Amino acid sequence: MTRHLIVTLCLALLAGCATAGEPVAAKKPLSSAEVLAASAAGDWRELAPEWSFVMELPSGPVIVELADRFAPQHAASIRALVRAGYFDGLAIIRVHDNYVTQWGDPAEDETKAKAKPAGMPTVPAEFDRPLAGLVLTELPDRDGWADTVGFVDGWPVAADRKRDRVWLTHCYGMVGAGRGEAVDSSDGSSLYAVIGAARGLDLNITTVGRVVQGIERLSALPRGTGTLGFYQKPEQTTPIVRARMLADIPASERPKLQMLRTDTATWTQWLDTRRHRSGWFVHDPAHVDVCGVLPPVRTAP
Amino acid sequence: MTRHLIVTLCLALLAGCATAGEPVAAKKPLSSAEVLAASAAGDWRELAPEWSFVMELPSGPVIVELADRFAPQHAASIRALVRAGYFDGLAIIRVHDNYVTQWGDPAEDETKAKAKPAGMPTVPAEFDRPLAGLVLTELPDRDGWADTVGFVDGWPVAADRKRDRVWLTHCYGMVGAGRGEAVDSSDGSSLYAVIGAARGLDLNITTVGRVVQGIERLSALPRGTGTLGFYQKPEQTTPIVRARMLADIPASERPKLQMLRTDTATWTQWLDTRRHRSGWFVHDPAHVDVCGVLPPVRTAP
């Protein structure tokens, strides 16, 4: 715990602290890992199996949780596509260095494209939504892109309180729905994961979820050499073996993942270990970036 | 050009603009690429051959420019190591996802380590330096990590004007000198490049330069599975074929790279194309991040 925190606690507790002038025994700050190790079961929430899917690549699984409260129609569309087996046999088609990795149908023209399930609805743009009805744990730390940032049930967000709008931020590992020129041209059949600096995409496209495990299977792929990082030859793409909703995997085989809740004292304590770095670090930035403190994910103990 | 820019230009030029009430013909905004295409030769500066080196990997070259005015003693040490052939045959030893790729001696213990050239001096920590004597082109855009950010002759920096200090920011592609627990334990013999979110390293370590070409040869490598992303087996490392200062390469073979100058009208215009995105983008963030606008690098025409 840093000196800043020790002082704050002394002021708050009015007990157990050295009075002015007394020597203060150096108290070793807790590390982020130590805060997590001391957490209680109730500090974690399960991934929603009805809204999470695993995408199997030759290198292993990538697990995505969908943000059904931020992009409900896209989430429903993606779930329908997963359940129809639409993604099975498709591919990673684009890796744009320091930006995004995108997957979908590698077919070069519409006539060879894989058919989508019958009755797939048109999906509207879901770039933002009302803040009303959501509990936002605000970060006090200054953000360049928005006046208000924080977390809603684990999701990194930015908000405009005057306009009552909130949106998911394009942090590392966040997943969005590719679109063409028209803002409502996405339906979730081509998705991308953020592998670099992409906050400039905020409010320009529908963000649909987060890679909670396996982002390194998407970030370490060879970069595409075509425009925008698209691969230029079919043999450069990485095949998607299959995708399944967690809810559709037998319970005994299903990955049991949990995310740190963002509305607890443990969360606040963990944030402080990130805000005031200790150990090897010698400079205290007294700052965290909303994208630098995405809630940790663990396998259920 | 966005409406914001058109209005600004009308106010500034007092000529050639529609008066209030007149219809304004929609003027297509210039893209970043169009601004660069229209740039003059004097908008670019050459890389300093005495302070730039090329590191050859099996996948191709990585070119680094050293920041001799920000870390003069590290830059001199690295140049001495390059010229002594110290890096030849060493390896990429660590790839930490969304953080850094590090290279140096893969030897597991000191007795097997490659000898450094005789007379290598001890190098002090060079985390920051006085702002006095440098021309800082400040960015007006809000930054989370520092009150002042901008560019000094193409280098991304943050500054504390009250304390007259300035330091290089850990943007994507920036290069630093690995250190142990002691702040002055780096000498440039192990270097890292930023491949993710690393602003938290600012003021904690000596930043020595920038990868100006070939960062994708470092960012797309397999992630290390050991602590902090270190590789656990020698066969996982990527060998460094050799490193050479650009000045030591015959002029006819030397890469001729130029970086956009950050003290010109073209720079300001280019920044505005990044600050107010057009084309596919529908939301105007009216913002750039210092790390999102590193000066473009090109091969000399």
Predicted confidence (pLDDT) per residue in A233-246, tens digit: 999 999 999 999 99
Q: What is d(CA A176, CA B60) in angstroms, rounded to the nearest whole number?
A: 32
pLDDT value at residue B26: 57
Give chain A's radius of gyration (CA, Å).
Answer: 21
Question: A15 pLDDT band (50/70/90 cuts)?
Answer: very low
Question: B226 pLDDT band (50/70/90 cuts)?
Answer: very high
* Backbone CA torsion sign across B8, B13, B16, B18: positive
* Residue, of A22 and A158, whose pLDDT is higher: A158
Given a cut of 90, whether residue B13 has pLDDT beyond it is no
CA distance B19 to chain A (A): 32
Q: Cβ contact (<8 Å) for B216 and A196? A: no
Residues of B in contact with A204 (CB under 8 A): 277, 280-283
Q: Cβ contact (<8 Å) for B283 and A97? A: no
Map tokens 């009150």 to a residue: B147
Q: Cβ contact (<8 Å) for B220 and A220? A: yes
The single-letter code of the amino acid at B258 is Q
Are residues B144 and A143 in contact, defined by beta-carbon separation less than 8 angstroms?
yes
Q: What is d(CA A1, CA B137) in angstroms, rounded to the nearest whole number?
A: 37
- The mean of the pLDDT values for chain A is 91
Predicted confidence (pLDDT) per residue in B138-190, tens digit: 999 999 999 999 999 999 999 999 999 999 999 999 999 999 999 999 999 99
Q: Which of B196, B204, B287 sits opposite A282 (nearest CB)?
A: B204
Phi-psi region of B21 (alpha: psi -120 to 50; beta: other; left: phi over 0): left
Between A and B, how many CB-CB pairs are < 8 A? Answer: 98
The encoded tokens of residue B48 equal 């300093």
Chain A interface mutation, best of B216, B275, B289, highest count of A Cβ atoms under 10 Å: B216
Q: How high is the ipTM of this complex?
A: 0.90
Given a cut of 80, whether residue A209 has pLDDT beyond it is yes
Q: What is d(CA A21, CA B167) in angstroms, rounded to the nearest whole number?
A: 36
- The mean of the pLDDT values for chain B is 91
Beta bridge partners of A130: A165
Residues of A in contact with B199 (CB under 8 A): 285, 289, 292
Q: What is d(CA B150, CA A259) in angstroms, rounded to the nearest whole number?
A: 37
Chain A interface mutation, best of B211, B227, B282, highest count of A Cβ atoms under 10 Å: B282
* Residue, of A37 and B118, whose pLDDT is higher: A37
* Residue, of A96 and A22, whose pLDDT is higher: A96
pLDDT value at residue B110: 83
Task: Name every residue whose Cβ is closer than 8 Å to that of residue B126 and which is 6 or more positions away in sequence.
Answer: B70, B71, B72, B73, B74, B206
Beta bridge partners of A157: A150, A168
Q: What is d(CA A56, CA A60) in angstroms, rounded to the nearest whole number?
A: 6
pLDDT value at residue B20: 43
Q: Cβ contact (<8 Å) for B220 and A222? A: yes
Interface of A with B (CB under 8 A): 95, 97-98, 127, 141-145, 172, 181, 183, 196-197, 199-200, 202-204, 215-216, 219-223, 277, 280-283, 285, 287, 289, 291-292
pLDDT value at residue B108: 80
Given a cut of 50, whether residue B60 has pLDDT beyond it is yes
pLDDT value at residue A26: 56
pLDDT value at residue A34: 96
Given a cut of 80, whether residue B10 has pLDDT beyond it is no
Residues of B in contact with A222 (CB under 8 A): 220
Given a cut of 70, whether residue B1 has pLDDT beyond it is no
Residues of B in contact with A280 (CB under 8 A): 181, 204
Q: Cβ contact (<8 Å) for B98 and A215? A: yes
Residue of B nearest to A280 (CA): B181
Using alpha carbons, list the distances in angstroms from residue A60 to A55, A102, A216, A241: 8, 17, 10, 10
Given a cut of 50, whether residue A252 has pLDDT beyond it is yes
CA distance A126 to chain B (A): 13
The least confident of A135-139, A281-285, B10-14, B75-79 is B10-14
Question: A14 pLDDT band (50/70/90 cuts)?
Answer: very low
The least confident of A257-261, B23-27, B32-36, B236-240 is B23-27
Give chain B's radius of gyration (CA, Å).
Answer: 21
Residues of B in contact with A219 (CB under 8 A): 97-98, 219, 223
* Residue, of B236 and B17, whose pLDDT is higher: B236
Predicted confidence (pLDDT) per residue in B65-116, tens digit: 999 999 999 999 999 999 999 999 999 999 999 999 999 999 988 889 999 9
Residue of A nearest to B149 (CA): A144
The least confident of A30-39, A85-94, A161-170, B117-126 is B117-126
Given a cut of 70, whether residue B8 has pLDDT beyond it is no
Residues of A in contact with B281 (CB under 8 A): 200, 204
- B133-146 core/surface letters (b: 16 or more CB in 10 A; e: else): eeebbebebebbbb
Phi-psi region of B89 (alpha: psi -120 to 50; beta: other; left: phi over 0): left
Q: Which of B141, B222, B285 sits opposite A220 (nearest CB)?
A: B222
Residues of B in contact with A200 (CB under 8 A): 277, 281, 285, 292
Element (H, E) at A22: none
Could you give the 3-state DSSP secondary structure of residue B51?
A: helix
Q: What is d(CA A229, CA A225) in angstroms, rounded to the nearest whole number?
A: 5
Interface of B with A (CB under 8 A): 95, 97-98, 127, 141-145, 172, 181, 183, 196-197, 199-200, 202-204, 215-216, 219-223, 277, 280-283, 285, 287, 289, 291-292
Chain A interface mutation, best of B32, B139, B287, highest count of A Cβ atoms under 10 Å: B287
Q: Cβ contact (<8 Å) for A197 and B95? A: no
Could you give the 3-state DSSP secondary structure of residue B237?
A: coil
| Mean pLDDT score, B230-249 | 97
Q: Which of A197, A283, A292 sits opposite B204 (nearest CB)?
A: A283
Residues of A in contact with B287 (CB under 8 A): 144-145
CA distance A50 to chain B (A): 29
Question: A4 pLDDT band (50/70/90 cuts)?
Answer: very low
Question: B25 pLDDT band (50/70/90 cuts)?
Answer: low
